[in-house]
Chain A
Amino acid sequence: MKVLVPVKRVIDYNVKIRVKSDQSGVETENVKMAMNPFDEVAIEEALRMREAGVATEVVAVSIGTDKSQETLRTALAMGADEAMLIQTDADVEPLGVAKLLHKAVEKVGPEVVILGKQAIDDDSNQTGQMLAAMLDWPQGTFASKAEFSDGKVALSRETDDGIETLNLSLPAVITTDLRLNEPRYPNLPNIMKAKKKPLEVIQADSMGVDFASRLTVLKVEEPAEREPGVILGSVDELIDKLRNVEKVIS
């Protein structure tokens, strides 16, 4: 079976982001970019499926500018077999991304799509569920464990109360939580090999999908700053502050 893994190029999770002074968005020029960490987990899980003989081929796909080719090369260096860039300079919202991925699924023919539960830039947490709806496939969101057998996957997912296990019939969409696995780092020989792996570029505009934005960003602002705090010298001082100044404990 083929596994399709959508990946997104985002600002590296270690970078402290800066809001543009004209409030139009977040500064992305000359900022370190990386693969969305949840998507690294998705690639890793697909590779483990292939290594376990569950999957035969891992295809990475990304939607974005030409620069997203770097992210796809990272996926290939980790071990993906091929990659596809759906090229557009537009900012595509999750609904539009899911529509384009729907087309990619029709083209590639995977039995499983695995992707991050959210991207750490817009924090929407929507794309996987939307894609599952468009395909009318089961959705296994926030996965911390996936065991495949007999055309099904036993999927453990992180909920607000603990862990829930579902049985999903394939084909299915799975979204990853961070505890599903620990992604591998690409080594130098694999980075070299990745340069020769197939990477197809398709124009998003040619896919027959309306992915125009439905949301207009009116402004992007810095969050309210907290008042600077104080370092105290003892536990007694702390209790005094909490009890008598803040009155938050009795």
Chain B
Amino acid sequence: MSVLVVAEHNNSELNAMTLSAVSAASQLGDSDIHLLVAGENCGDVAKQAAAVAGVTKVFHAESAGLAHAIGENVAATVGSIAGDYSHILATATASGKNWMPRLAAQLDVQQISDITAVESADTFVRPIYAGNAMATVQSSDATKLITVRSTSFEAAADTGGSASVESVDAAGDFAGTQFVSEEVGESDRPDLVSAKVVVSGGRGMGSEENFKILEPLAEKLGAAIGASRAAVDAGYAPNELQVGQTGKVVAPDVYIAFGISGAIQHLAGMKESKVIVAVNTDEDAPIFQVASYGLVMDLFDVIPQLQEAL
């Protein structure tokens, strides 16, 4: 039995979430784990992939059509080597969520999205209803296609492996879909999904300008910055910071929520954090029900005090 894990990367670095997917793959039983690195000028990523502990082979596909992980082209390329794999795994990221269902339909497979646990080679746990229920599902498909929630699996070691790297052809360049441009938020701070500390702002931040007062605090804590949907909808923060059911799922050591009321859709994205701190002037805000520590205080008083004391 062999398992294929499709790497998430930016053509220069392997995304750490891939390491969690490898770890999920290793729980499927005695199986060879292969990694596919598909992109453009992504040879360095293939080298990093070969060093991941537990990986026995790396496939490396190069094409201009894969440079921006266009879903149509990634699905076709993975499909071309899908062959006899018992399982194909990807990260439950915007990219994995985009291409994997396309491949699943091409293979006539009912994909299993966003797994949080492996019970056996055909049985998995996944959250439904924004994580307010956990479903254990058993698949009858010959090939299992799975996206993995990275915060639920320890990362595999990124050293110690010595897999061989084999080039494979990229399949197709889907004519109907063309990349135009990308606006990427620039930040020197840690990646939101893998950060140990996250400071997050909600509607209570009041404005885009006020939202920026989280930056020096995040700097001091070595934290990533997150946001609630309300803050993103209001234009206080860009979409890539959104934490929740339809945004990113995070589980840092400590999540500090400023001016976030705690709608279930937001809690879905952060309630697995080890320690949750809530700062809100409304003592009835639902965020306090999941908070380890609460301050019923004005965030505009709390942030400068924290800043001072740290």
* A contact set with B: CB distance below 8 Å: 11, 13, 16-17, 19, 26, 93-95, 98, 117-118, 120-134, 137-139, 141-142, 144, 154, 158-169, 172, 177-179, 213-223, 226-227, 229-232, 234-236, 238-239, 241-242, 246, 248-249
CA distance A221 to B99 in the complex (A): 29
List chain B positions with a Cβ less than 8 A from chain A: 68, 70-72, 75, 93-95, 97-106, 108-114, 123, 127-141, 174-185, 193, 196-197, 221, 229, 232-233, 238-240, 245-246, 248, 253-254, 264-265, 271, 274-277, 283, 288, 290-297, 302, 305-306, 309-310
Residues from chain A with a CB closer than 8 A to the CB of B238 are: 162
Distance of A119 Cα from B161 Cα, bound (Å): 40
Q: Give chain A residues whose Cβ lies under 8 Å from the Cβ of B138.
A: 215-216, 218
CB neighbours (8 Å) of A223 from chain B are 127, 131-134, 271
Q: Which of B134, B254, B291, B292 contacts A220 (CB 8 A)?
A: B134
Tell me whether B294 and A229 are in contact (CB under 8 A).
yes
A215 to B193, CA, bound (A): 29
Within the complex, the shortest CB–CB distance from B34 to chain A, in Å, comes to 23
B245 touches A95 (CB 8 A): no
Task: State in angstroms the CA–CA spacing of A229 and B113 once bound together.
Answer: 31
Known: A218-B137, A226-B292. 10 other contacts (CB 8 A): A26-B133, A133-B106, A134-B105, A141-B98, A161-B185, A166-B70, A221-B133, A226-B276, A235-B295, A236-B309
Contact B140 A215 (CB under 8 A): yes
The CA of A213 and the CA of B135, in the complex, are separated in Å by 15
Contact A248 B274 (CB under 8 A): yes
Task: Please report the C-alpha to C-alpha distance between residue A154 and residue B141 in the assembled complex, in whole angstroms.
Answer: 36
Q: Is the CB of B288 within 8 A of A231?
A: yes
Question: Which residue in B137, B233, B240 is a CB contact (below 8 Å) of A160?
Answer: B240
Residue of A144, A159, A168, A231 with most chain B CB atoms under a 10 A cut-off: A159
- Contacting B104 at CB < 8 Å: which of A13, A126, A167, A172? A126
Q: Are B133 and A163 in contact (CB under 8 A)?
A: no
* CB proximity of A135 to chain B, nearest CB, Å: 10
Q: Quote the shortest CB–CB distance from B294 to chain A (angstroms).
A: 4
Cβ contact within 8 Å between A178 and B135? no
Could you tell me the distance in whole angstroms from the C-beta of A237 to the nearest C-beta in chain B?
8
Cross-chain contact A231 with B295 (CB below 8 angstroms): yes
A118, A121, A129, A168 pick with most chain B CB within 10 angstroms = A129
Contact residues in A for B271 (Cβ distance below 8 Å): 223, 226
Q: What separation, in Å, do the CA atoms of A213 and B277 have in the docked complex?
A: 42
Given A120-B245, A179-B239, A248 contacting B133 (CB threshold 8 A): no
Whether B246 lies near A229 (C-beta < 8 A) is no
